[in-house]
Amino acid sequence: MAFNDLLKQVGAVGRFQQIQVALVILPLLLMASHNTLQNFTAAIPAHHCRLPPNASLGLDGQLGTLLPQDSQGQPESCLRFATPSQGAALTNDTTANLTEPTEPCMDGWVYDDSIFPSTIVTEWDLVCSHRALRQLAQSLYMVGVLLGAMSFGHLADRLGRRKVLILNYLQTAVSGTCAAYAPNFSLYCTFRLLSGMSLASIAINSMTINVEWMPIHTRACVGTLMGYTYSLGQFLLAGLAYAVPHWRHLQLLVSAPFYAFFLYSWFFVESARWLSSRGRLDLTLSTLQRVARINGKQAEGAKLSVEVLRTSLQKELTLGKGQASAMDLLRCPALRRLFLCLSMLWFATSFAYYGLVMDLQGFGVSIYLIQVIFGAVDLPAKLVCFLVINSLGRRPAQSASLLLAGICILMNAVIPRDQTVVRTSLAVLGKGCLASAFNCIFLYTGELYPTIIRQTGLGMGSTLARVGSIVSPLVSMTAELYPTAPLFIFGAVPVAASAATALLPETRGRPLPDTVQDLESRRAGSLRQPQQEQQKQMVPLQGTAQEKNSL
pLDDT tens, N- to C-terminus, the chain (551 residues): 467 777 777 777 888 888 888 899 899 888 878 888 888 888 777 767 777 666 555 544 455 556 666 666 667 767 666 665 444 444 444 444 445 677 667 677 777 777 788 888 888 878 777 777 777 888 888 888 888 877 887 788 788 888 999 999 999 999 999 999 999 989 999 999 999 999 988 888 888 888 888 877 777 788 778 878 887 888 888 888 888 889 899 999 999 999 999 999 898 888 888 887 777 888 888 888 888 888 888 887 778 787 877 777 775 555 455 556 667 777 777 788 888 889 899 999 988 888 887 666 566 567 777 777 877 887 888 788 888 888 888 888 899 999 999 998 888 888 887 777 788 888 888 888 888 888 888 788 888 888 777 777 877 887 788 788 888 877 877 776 787 788 888 889 999 988 888 888 888 877 777 777 777 776 665 545 544 544 544 444 444 444 444 43
Report the alpha-carbon distance of residue 226 to residue 123 in Å, rounded. 36
- Does pTM top 0.75 for this prediction? no
Q: Could you tell me if 41 and 239 are in contact, meaning their C-beta atoms sit under 8 angstroms apart? A: no
**Three-state secondary structure call for residue 221:** helix
Report the alpha-carbon distance of residue 486 to residue 94 in Å, rounded. 32
The full 3-state SS of 268-309, as one line of letters, equals: CCCCHHHHHHCCCHHHHHHHHHHHHHHCCCHHHHHCCCHHHH
Report the alpha-carbon distance of residue 523 to residue 543 in Å, rounded. 31
The full 3-state SS of 231-273, as one line of letters, equals: HHHHHHHHHHHHHCCCHHHHHHHHHCHHHHHHHHHHHCCCCHH
Task: State which amino acid sits at residue 312.
Answer: S
Report the alpha-carbon distance of residue 20 to residue 23 in Å, rounded. 5
Residues of the chain with CATH 1.20.1250.20: 1-48+108-321, 323-522
**Residue ranges with strand state E in 350-482:** none
Task: State which amino acid sits at residue 6.
Answer: L
Q: What is the pLDDT of residue 93?
A: 46
Instruction: Name the CATH architecture for the domain at 323-522.
Output: Up-down Bundle (1.20)
- List the Cα angle 357/361/364 in 5-degree steps: 120
Q: Could you tell me if 468 and 349 are in contact, meaning their C-beta atoms sit under 8 angstroms apart? A: yes
Cβ neighbors of 273 (< 8 A, separation 6 or more) are: 3, 212, 213, 451, 512, 514
CA trace torsion 240, 18, 164, 285 (10° rounding): 170
Closest to 160 (Cα-Cα) out of 270, 79, 250: 270
Task: State which amino acid sits at residue 239.
Answer: G
Report the alpha-carbon distance of residue 508 to residue 221 in Å, rounded. 12
Report the alpha-carbon distance of residue 326 to residue 337 in Å, rounded. 14
Q: What is the pLDDT of residue 204?
A: 82
Report the alpha-carbon distance of residue 342 to residue 52 in Å, rounded. 57
Pick the CATH number of 1-48+108-321 from 2.60.120.620, 1.20.1250.20, 1.10.3720.10, 1.10.599.10: 1.20.1250.20
